[in-house]
Structure 1
Amino acid sequence: MENKEAMVKLAINGGIKFGSKLSAKQLSVIAEHMGSHSELELTTFQQLYIEIPESQLEDTKEKFREVGISVYPVGNFIKSLRTCNFCKGEEEEGMPVAIELNRRIAGRSVPFTLRPAYAGCPVGCGEPLVNDIGVMKVRDRYDLYLAGKAKGKDAQLGTLFMEQMESEQLYDVVDKIIEIYAEKGKKREPFFKFVNRIGIEILKEQITA
């Protein structure tokens, strides 16, 4: 019996920009690295899942990056930042902050898949209140919500954790939250359960200590 080569699943998207878009060139490169019977899986988190032969993995990742396709691991990692469509322009909607936050956190290992989201204004098109970590830009500051959950009978809105933060403070606080979750979260414990178990106020004390 012929041995089939091991396949590795990757999560990809067109990067953090104005809407969830892929260019014709990006689509062409993706198609070049798919087999004739391969399929792309569209996720609810602005990502596509694609399976690549293990022997071609590093070359494929490099080809993707050359055309601006972002590549992330699949599994118990932080997802790439879910965003709104940045409808009023780059600076006003805070895209540079979204790009930098994504660079800092996406792909980090955590006890269970963690979904961060970003909205460039209080309309909240990026759905920050129903994801694990939600950031909402309000004027020229940033509000941070934790432990939102969109699915199930126990669905819940995120709790306002800190508000009116400068961008550097936002990066620092989110980084500390992720470090605490990575260290103290139980194996396969969803983030909202971790926050509910630890408690918002205790978590805040640990962040600001």
Structure 2
Amino acid sequence: MQTKKYIPLAVNGGIGYGAKLKPKQLAVLGQYLEEESEIELTTLQQLIVQIPEEELDEVKRRFDEVGLSYYKVGKFVKNIRTCNFCKGEEEEGMPVAKELNRRIAGQEVPFTLRPAYTGCPIGCGEPLINDIGIMKDQDTYELYIGGLSKGRDARPGKLVRANLEPEELYDLVDRILDIYRENGKKREKFYRFVDRFGFEKIIEELEAV
């Protein structure tokens, strides 16, 4: 008897204010999970589910229909973590967070990379203690890298640049990911890469373009 193969997917309700799911989304999830399946809830506002490989295309189609977002599991850029509440989509720059997520989530990198976004300097989305952090300040954006949230080495990220317009932000993040891919060692966590390669050297490469 052939053993059924399962593919892990990281699933959430899309980029928005906090981790929210609708009843119809939960119902669709339930259709494709076996009775004894375990669902992992991560700190990145994701559910990790195991999908039978032969059903994968159908599952993705159904997820699309009900607005569920799904991502690869492993050494990829994760979906952007966002604030749990804000004052309004346009005011807090959520369209920028959604566009940045569309551009970078799922990109392959040397090791799992966690980006975070917050719509104001209060920082509910914890951008300063994630690998890549974006903070909206009035009408522009600040970009931080190299934050770490846990352990003895916990520290805030360093400011790469402030007063960024959306297109400048997208371009800088793309180039930082390129630098990490080109120079990072296999399974080298991003904060360790920043320490080894050097924050100043990253800035030099960004400014050289």
Which category of TM-score, normalised to the shorter sequence, fits these structures?
Answer: over 0.9
**What residue in structure 2 maps to residue 40 of structure 1?**
39
Tell me which stretches of 4 or more aligned residues in structure 1 moved more than 2 Å.
Answer: none
Q: How far is 1:86 from its partner?
A: 4.2
**What residue in structure 2 maps to residue 5 of structure 1?**
4
Q: CA RMSD in A?
A: 0.8
**What residue in structure 2 maps to residue 166 of structure 1?**
165
SS at match of 2:170: helix
Q: How far is 1:4 from its partner?
A: 2.0
**What residue in structure 1 maps to residue 128 of structure 2?**
129
Q: Distance in 2 between matches of 1:15 and 1:159?
A: 28
Q: Distance in 2 between matches of 1:205 and 1:86?
A: 36
**What residue in structure 2 maps to residue 201 of structure 1?**
200
1:83–1:118 contact (8 Å) kept in structure 2: yes
SS at match of 1:176: helix
**What residue in structure 1 maps to residue 150 of structure 2?**
151
Q: Distance in 1 between matches of 2:199 and 2:152?
A: 21
Q: Distance in 2 between matches of 1:198 and 1:176?
A: 15
Cα–Cα, structure 1 residues 15 and 80, in superposed 2: closer, same or farther, change >3 Å? same
Q: How far is 1:153 from its partner?
A: 1.2
Q: Which amino acid aligns with 2:115?
A: P
Give % identity.
58
Q: How far is 1:24 from its partner?
A: 0.6
Q: Which amino acid aligns with 1:200?
A: F
Q: Distance in 2 between matches of 1:158 and 1:164?
A: 17
**What TM-score comes out, normalization by structure 1 length?**
0.97
Q: Distance in 2 between matches of 1:6 and 1:33?
A: 14
SS at match of 1:83: coil
Q: Residue by residue, what CA displacement relative to the aligned partner does 1:44-94 show, whole Å, maximum 9, x if unpaired? A: 110000001111111111111111000100000000000003410011100
SS at match of 1:82: coil
1:86–1:120 contact (8 Å) kept in structure 2: no
1:86–1:95 contact (8 Å) kept in structure 2: no
**What residue in structure 2 maps to residue 60 of structure 1?**
59
Q: Distance in 2 between matches of 1:151 and 1:66?
A: 37
Q: Which amino acid aligns with 1:111?
A: P
Count of residues in Structure 1 that have an aligned counterpart in Structure 2: 208
Q: Residue by residue, what CA displacement relative to the aligned partner does 1:86-138 show, whole Å, maximum 9, x if unpaired? A: 41001110000000000000000000000000000000000000000000000
SS at match of 2:96: helix
Q: Which amino acid aligns with 1:146?
A: I
Name stretches of at least 5 consecutive residues in structure 2 with no aligned partner. none
Q: Distance in 2 between matches of 1:15 and 1:157?
A: 26
Q: Distance in 1 between matches of 2:112 and 2:61?
A: 25
Name stretches of at least 5 consecutive residues in structure 1 with no aligned partner. none
